[in-house]
Amino acid sequence: MGGVPREQRAFQYVLAHAVPGDPRHVLLAFDQWGHRREHLSNLGPRKGRIVERLVQERAPRAVLELGTYCGYGTVLLALGLPPGARLYTVEADPQHAAVAEKVELIVGPSEEVIPRLKEQHGLLRADFVLMDHWKRRYLRDLRLLETHDLLAPGATVLADNVIFPGAPHFLQYAKTCGRYRCKVHRTSLEYFRAIPDGIAELTYTGPPPGPPTGP
């Protein structure tokens, strides 16, 4: 294919086949490419329905996405946001960011972007977070969000691919640290129904209570 990255090939397919201005048709075109041509690390339609339902239920005002990739999750999140809500999406790979050039995003490694979200980008606290970047960075970035007080009380944190390829340390922390209620929506890997996968749903309850201070 002349050295053109598969994400760029998929983007060209979407531009050629999706109805302009129709976000759902854009998602459908990405799904068609993922099913029929080459695998893409998008949420896909089954997990997408979970994410869209939760966004509509929570009606968040400030949303943070870690891992823009082709912009699939960004489009999906934007579809469910209430009027006036803001969506911040972070992508470390400049090539992927270029693919998603129609999306307003922050380019840079998440470990560098997260500490400056408040000061440089005006995100005081997020009440909805979607993690769909490198799985080994999930735990590190969750801890960074905590350290910089970027999670609103009751915030929802969704993390994709926690079963395949898996994020065991992230799940263990979420279940045992005392800061979250955690459940896993079991489904399958995007575009591969035979491979089990899941998306974790965390509800931020705040820091665990400290030890008693005495009488």
pLDDT tens digits, one per residue of 206-215: 988 766 665 5
For range 87-104, the mean pLDDT: 66
The residue with greater pLDDT, 97 or 115, is 115
Q: Which residues are catalytic, by number?
A: 132, 135, 160-161, 190
Cα–Cα distance for residue pair 66/110, rounded to 1 Å: 7
* pLDDT at 95 exceeding the cut of 90: no
Say what the pLDDT of residue 209 is: 75
Q: Beta strands 192-204 and 151-159: pairing type?
A: antiparallel
Amino acid at position 134, single letter? W
Say what the pLDDT of residue 101 is: 39
Dihedrals φ, ψ of 131, to 5°? -105, 120
Cα–Cα distance for residue pair 48/72, rounded to 1 Å: 9
Burial class (CB in 10 A: 0-12, 13-18, 19+), 58: middle
Share of the chain above pLDDT 70, in %: 91
Amino acid at position 131, single letter? M
* pLDDT at 99 exceeding the cut of 80: no
Q: Return the SS3 of 172.
A: helix
| E strand segments, the chain | 62-66, 86-91, 106-107, 126-131, 151-159, 180-189, 192-204
**DSSP code for 158:** E
Say what the pLDDT of residue 214 is: 58
For range 125-131, the mean pLDDT: 97
pLDDT tens digits, one per residue of 21-76: 899 999 999 999 999 999 998 999 999 999 999 999 999 999 999 998 988 999 99
Cα–Cα distance for residue pair 196/198, rounded to 1 Å: 7
Going 191 to 135 to 123 to 113, the CA torsion angle's sign is: negative
For range 84-94, the mean pLDDT: 87
Distant-in-sequence, close-in-space partners of 16: CB < 8 Å, separation ≥ 6: none
pLDDT tens digits, one per residue of 135-186: 999 999 999 999 999 999 999 999 999 999 999 999 999 999 999 999 999 9
